[in-house]
A and B are shown apart, each in its own frame.
Chain A
């Protein structure tokens, strides 16, 4: 993990926050504070909440325990969804990539599901799996599975021919070639897809938590703050999801660096 990259990232984040706070100070008293919401006016809307009101709102969310509980509940769902989805996706992707006969069967299905938005599956999953935890987690898992399936499939397909030939020439069985050549050679591609899927899982959670929406959860917090609307809450909710994605991604990168010491440098 190059510390220079981490430092640059931190500086970039800090710069963005400063720019926002300056904009909020400048906008204070200049921006309209009532807006037309289609049916009625909303008063005291704070289009760009200042540092002060963000701190106030943040303190309230922290002290009441809403934020921490939401983070824990949503992280749990993302984690389980990511785990189940990755497992299913990677296994299927390896199968379709390595098995010559399975590929033609899977291809059209993958293409079909690739761009299916989570929102479109939502009512279907509610009907199938009910209003409980299962439909939320499975919605995340489905989205994760599609991405990781593609990653594993293409990873296997992209294993250079020379390695497979060299291994076959050394007498390696198909199974040994799969374990010792295909798996390690496709690992970077699989891993990158899990990284992308982890980010996507956090996007999906906001939709998934609209199912039987209730406290505490980040998806509900965001939905609720949109309904009022309460801009400070929205901004804190978005920043929290962003921070969690960042943490997940950093953890993933650390794992990646450990697992691919053989490569020139970590992705």
Chain B
């Protein structure tokens, strides 16, 4: 992360967000952040530090109380497919087959059926679910449903991918498998990714760069570059380089000033 001549694809400038209500909650305070083109950035922070709020602001569902957010140079107003957003909750449409789920964004874009089919074929292959094309989501595991959601967003070919703890609800083994699937998908079709998680190891394994947020109200506490070679594998998880960065990040996320 040394020579960065390209302008940021996504940026937040002094963003604050306060949830109004009987007891107003300050979720974010003066947070500034940049995501460069084709960069995989992980935002790491404890539960309740405003990570989801930040992502919902980038996705266009919330407007910052103060400050500004821009994507590709223009300010963000409202949701749109250019910023593909994978929610933290399970959001695969249960009444649609796997293929219909994958094609939904293309349908919204007005893509012709034949072209939609070609794209969904490709993604069914990429996530290894070709046999499940006409299955309903109830037949999929939680992890596979999440991969369908990621692929569903990628199918519209967005400029940027916003992922909100996509594997938070999975057990450790499945989670590792899904991380590999995501990394594989990303290495084949490079995209700018903003990945939110509370798991240090997950952030290290996937990201080029890590931003650590402080507890509420969230602000940037530290930055780390993750200069580990790709493609990463199980070996990466136990390499000295990985463990060295892990120690640094671990210390930064721990309780401190």
Contact = CB atoms under 8 A, between A and B. Distances in A.
Contact of B90 (A162, A261, A262, A263): A162
A200 to B, nearest CB: 28
Nearest to A259: B95
Nearest to A260: B95
Interface in A205-223: none
A167 B84 contact: no
A167 B95 CA distance: 13
Interface string B73-88: 0000001110111010
B95 A171 contact: no
A176 B107 contact: yes
Interface in A115-164: 162-163
B94 interface: yes
Contact of A171 (B59, B61, B80, B96): B80
A260 B152 CA distance: 23
Contacts of B64: none
Given A262-B138, A263-B138, A170 B93 contact: no
B50 interface: no
A86 B96 CA distance: 25
Contact of B108 (A173, A187, A262, A264): A173
A255 to B, nearest CB: 16
Interface centre among A163, A169, A264 (most CB of B within 10 A): A169
A200 B109 CA distance: 44
Contacts of B136: 261-262
B89 interface: yes
A185 B89 contact: no
A86 B200 CA distance: 54
Given A171-B108, A173-B108, A162 B85 contact: no
Interface in A169-184: 169-173, 176, 180-181, 184
B137 to A, nearest CB: 8
A91 B90 CA distance: 29
A257 to B, nearest CB: 14
A162 B85 CA distance: 11
B102 to A, nearest CB: 11
A187 to B, nearest CB: 8
Contacts of A163: 91, 93
A170 B89 contact: no
A171 B60 CA distance: 12
Nearest to B56: A165
Interface in B25-81: 59-61, 79-81
B85 A169 contact: yes
A170 B153 contact: yes
Interface string B188-215: 0000000000000000000000000000
A166 interface: yes
B156 interface: yes
Q: Which of B79, B80, B85, B90 has the most CB of A within 10 A?
A: B79
A181 B105 CA distance: 13
A168 interface: yes
A180 B96 CA distance: 9
A162 B52 CA distance: 13
18 contacts: A162-B91, A163-B93, A165-B85, A167-B104, A168-B61, A168-B79, A169-B81, A169-B153, A170-B81, A170-B84, A170-B104, A170-B105, A170-B108, A172-B105, A262-B96, A262-B137, A262-B138, A263-B95
Given A162-B90, A172-B105, 17 more contacts: A166-B87, A169-B60, A169-B79, A169-B80, A169-B153, A170-B104, A171-B105, A171-B109, A180-B104, A184-B95, A184-B96, A187-B95, A262-B94, A262-B96, A262-B137, A263-B95, A263-B138
